[in-house]
Amino acid sequence: MILQVRDLRVSFPAGTAVDGISFGLERGRTLGVVGESGSGKSVSSLAIMGLHREAAVSGSIVFDGEELVGAPASRVRELRGRRMAMIFQDPLSSLHPFYTVGEQIAEAYRLHLRTSRRVARERAVEMLAEVGIPEPRRRADEYPHHFSGGMRQRVMIAMALSCEPDLLIADEPTTALDVTVQAQILELIRKIQEDRAVAVMMITHDLGVVARVADEVLVMYGGRTAEHAPAREIFRSPRHPYTRGLLASVLRLTAGEEEDGGRLPAIPGNPPSLLAPPSGCRFHPRCARYAAAPDDACVTEAPEPRPAGPGGATHRTACHLIDISGGRR
Amino acid sequence: MTEQLLTGPDTANRTTPLLAVRDLRMTFGGRTGVKAVDGVTFDVRPGETLGLVGESGCGKTTTGRMIVRLLEPTGGTVTFDGRDITHLGPRALRPLRRDIQMIFQDPSASLNPRQTVERIVSGPLRLLDRRGVIELLERVGLGAEHADRYPHEFSGGQAQRIGIARALASRPKLIVCDEPVSALDVSIQAQIVNLLVDLQRELGLAYLFIAHDLSVVRHMCARVAVMYLGRVVEIGSRESVYTAPAHPYTRALLSAVPVPDPEVELTRERIVLLGDPPSPAAPPPGCSFHPRCALARDICRTEAPPLEIHGPGERKVACHFPG
């Protein structure tokens, strides 16, 4: 395990954004983290990267055998960029407009690996070539605004990978891109992962993207784990009412003709506010199963993720109302 | 002029179109400027939904803005309910504003933050009294208790409901929906899609549904137009466009959409296009898709293909080598 997260909690003065999540990630594997706004998916990833200054982070984040929660900021800074890297949704706001992209890639490399400017510059050109930027030597001297959205995201990936990290966190990396460009970037991430056996944490709201890239999926709701399972199982036999609702309501390219223009089975209500989250299971106010057969436990007690489903211990679901013997949908 | 347009070959079928767009053009920055929309033709019939899909910069939003006449076209015509509205002045447009409404992508940014919901929904013309506003709010899934609140008190999905109520206040015949669900959470998207479908059935509304998400368009629209760099490259029924796409760009677009099923994803054929969509400021010569097209031959580099009937039904394609 390159990354082992246990009972991670991230609290801000206004409320708790992540309330006890656990997962592990191996080299060369991709974990898809799915959730809606306020589910805590981005906050979790920033906590792993040690990027929360105002938040109280507790629990355990073990990266390659080393505990990061409570570690000195200088140590986390050494790892960040060197061994764990991150790319974001909007590459333009992550790139400095006054420096050429070559300088920006070289700077990170030089800082972490203490090489000469010349070596770092060569590395930048090499990385731009690797991520598929044509004429990399010339383009290294251009500024971010000279690049299209897809090309900027390639630059971000080049920068993130220049120091050969073991973990890449990608936070909605293709959400701002056109669909044909998204396909290129997902293909690039997949290829790089194969070549370098890097572990990828892919944070997204798009179930299609998850289906394309993830080996395992963590579904988050209201700062907690709803369901965590191998990707195939999440899509084939979802157990949590939220996962099921999400999969049933998502619009598809190939729906049955009888569904055309008809009503989608939508989940009612809105994602919970973290300032005043619902008691017990945070999904219960929107839950079809709770509505059909209300259970006091859903209102009073937060369900813990437990093994449920055909996958045995690898398929964990946090719901009071499911049959843990693993019946099929 | 109008008569002639309405009896053209494209509209020879049973229903007179509510909206007829012919060779519509928008060039920004003078004659030599950027051709954002470069000759677009389509109809929207009463009570139907036409989808307009394409990637950023393809001109779909500009087309929508010309139809609601937030922009004055630099060429072509827009005919609404038999009347040429292409160059109407502000005064002449006023009654038309009731008939054609618009819903925007970012619901909270399109609501005045200093007005109450009641004020927003009743609109500058004060079309509705309080009871009318409350009725409309209830119709879109909100309630009387929301009428005195301000936009910042609402979630994205609720704000979009307010935007829809505002659009409905003048009893329009056509609503131009510009990416109405793309800023919303997945579980909220389905709610808003359902609401739009219900409203159309009850009120007989026509929609021009502009979106980049092919899955949403598929669900909403019986007919679909695919745009690329200011032009329609394929238009036809949902079945023809989605199950037998004829333009190589439509095929690539459809194959690029990730499908929420890992087993399908593992096996399906994917056409990964090279490069980015070109800039409308410097369009390639000939067919503007040719630099990214695997099927491109010499003629594609020199000659722009016209939009022509291809295959059964009304499907049209602008390609020298349609599939």
**Per-residue model confidence as pLDDT tens digits over B290-314:** 999 999 999 999 999 999 999 877 8
* Mean per-residue pLDDT, B159-165: 95
Of B186, B197, B263, the CB nearest to A250: B186
Quick check: A258 pLDDT over 70? no
pLDDT band at B180 (very low <50, low <70, confident <90, very high): very high
Quick check: A309 pLDDT over 80? no
Q: What residue of B is the nearest CA neighbor of A273?
A: B155
| pLDDT, tens only, A114-173 | 999 999 999 999 999 999 998 999 999 999 999 988 899 999 999 999 999 999 999 999
* Mean per-residue pLDDT, A71-100: 91
Q: What residue of B is the nearest CA neighbor of A247?
A: B260
Cβ distance A253 to B270 less than 8 Å, yes or no, reads no
What's the pLDDT at A327? 44
Q: What angle do CA A61, A67, A72 make, to 5 degrees?
A: 110
Give the residue among B260, B111, B155, B105 at the shortest CA–CA distance from A38.
B155
pLDDT band at B31 (very low <50, low <70, confident <90, very high): confident
Helix (H, G, I), strand (E, B) or coil at B258: coil
| pLDDT, tens only, B260-280 | 999 999 888 888 888 888 888
Percent of chain B with pLDDT over 70: 95
What's the pLDDT at A155? 94
Quick check: A201 pLDDT over 50? yes
* Mean per-residue pLDDT, B67-76: 96
Cβ distance B185 to A37 less than 8 Å, yes or no, reads yes
Of A210, A253, A262, the CB nearest to B215: A253
Quick check: A259 pLDDT over 60? no
Number of domains making up chain B: 1
What's the pLDDT at A171? 95
pLDDT band at A260 (very low <50, low <70, confident <90, very high): low
* Mean per-residue pLDDT, A23-48: 95
Cβ distance B197 to A214 less than 8 Å, yes or no, reads no
Compute the mean pLDDT over every residue in chain B, rounded to the nearest whole number: 91
Q: Which residues of A touch B157 (CB under 8 A)?
A: 270
Q: List the beta bridge partners of residue A63.
A: A3, A66
Quick check: A175 pLDDT over 90? no
Choose the weakest-confidence range: A16-30, A89-103, A287-301: A89-103
* Mean per-residue pLDDT, A251-260: 65
How far is Cα A213 from Cα A31, in angstroms, rounded to an integer? 9
Cβ distance B265 to A206 less than 8 Å, yes or no, reads no
Cβ distance A232 to B263 less than 8 Å, yes or no, reads yes
Cβ distance A267 to B189 less than 8 Å, yes or no, reads no
Q: Which residues of B touch A267 (CB under 8 A)?
A: 187, 190-191
B48's tokens? 């139907």
What's the pLDDT at A324? 55
Cβ(A221)–Cβ(A189) below 8 Å: no
Q: What residue of B is the nearest CA neighbor of A205?
A: B186
* Mean per-residue pLDDT, B79-99: 94
* Residue B223, in any domain of the structure: yes
Of A214, A236, A253, the CB nearest to B259: A253
- CATH number of the domain within which B206 lies: 3.40.50.300
Residue type, B90: P
Q: List the beta bridge partners of residue A8.
A: A21
Of B194, B256, B260, the CB nearest to A247: B260
What's the pLDDT at B270? 84
Give the residue among B251, B248, B262, B180 at the shortest CA–CA distance from B219.
B180
What's the pLDDT at A30? 96
Give the residue among B38, B2, B36 at the shortest CA–CA distance from B19.
B2
Helix (H, G, I), strand (E, B) or coil at B281: coil
Of A236, A249, A263, the CB nearest to B187: A249
What is the residue range of B217's domain?
19-113+167-317
Percent of chain B with pLDDT over 90: 79
Q: List the beta bridge partners of residue B316.
A: B235, B309
Shortest distance between the Cα of A321 and any Cα of chain B, in A, equals 21
Cβ distance A180 to B260 less than 8 Å, yes or no, reads no
What's the pLDDT at A261? 58
* Residue B272, in any domain of the structure: yes
Return the residue in B105, B160, B181, B186 with the most chain A beta carbons within 10 A, the one to mutate for interface testing.
B186
* Residue B280, in any domain of the structure: yes
* Residue B203, in any domain of the structure: yes
* Mean per-residue pLDDT, B145-165: 94
* C-alpha distances out from residue A305 to A22, A223, A234, A237, A243, Å: 9, 13, 14, 16, 14
Cβ(B6)–Cβ(B17) below 8 Å: yes
A273's tokens? 């506010």
pLDDT band at A251 (very low <50, low <70, confident <90, very high): confident
Cβ distance B55 to A263 less than 8 Å, yes or no, reads no
pLDDT band at A54 (very low <50, low <70, confident <90, very high): confident
* Residue B220, in any domain of the structure: yes
Q: Which residues of A touch B242 (CB under 8 A)?
A: 253-254
| Helical (H) or strand (E) element with A188 | helix A179-196
Q: Which residues of A touch B194 (CB under 8 A)?
A: 263-264, 266
Of B197, B198, B212, the CB nearest to A178: B212
Shortest distance between the Cα of A155 and any Cα of chain B, in A, equals 15
Q: Which residues of B touch A184 (CB under 8 A)?
A: 272-273
Report ipTM for this prediction: 0.86
Shortest distance between the Cα of A124 and any Cα of chain B, in A, equals 21
| Helical (H) or strand (E) element with B250 | helix B248-256
What's the pLDDT at B4? 41
Shortest distance between the Cα of B149 and any Cα of chain A, in A, equals 18
Return the residue in A252, A275, A287 with the most chain B beta carbons within 10 A, the one to mutate for interface testing.
A252
Shortest distance between the Cα of B161 and any Cα of chain A, in A, equals 13
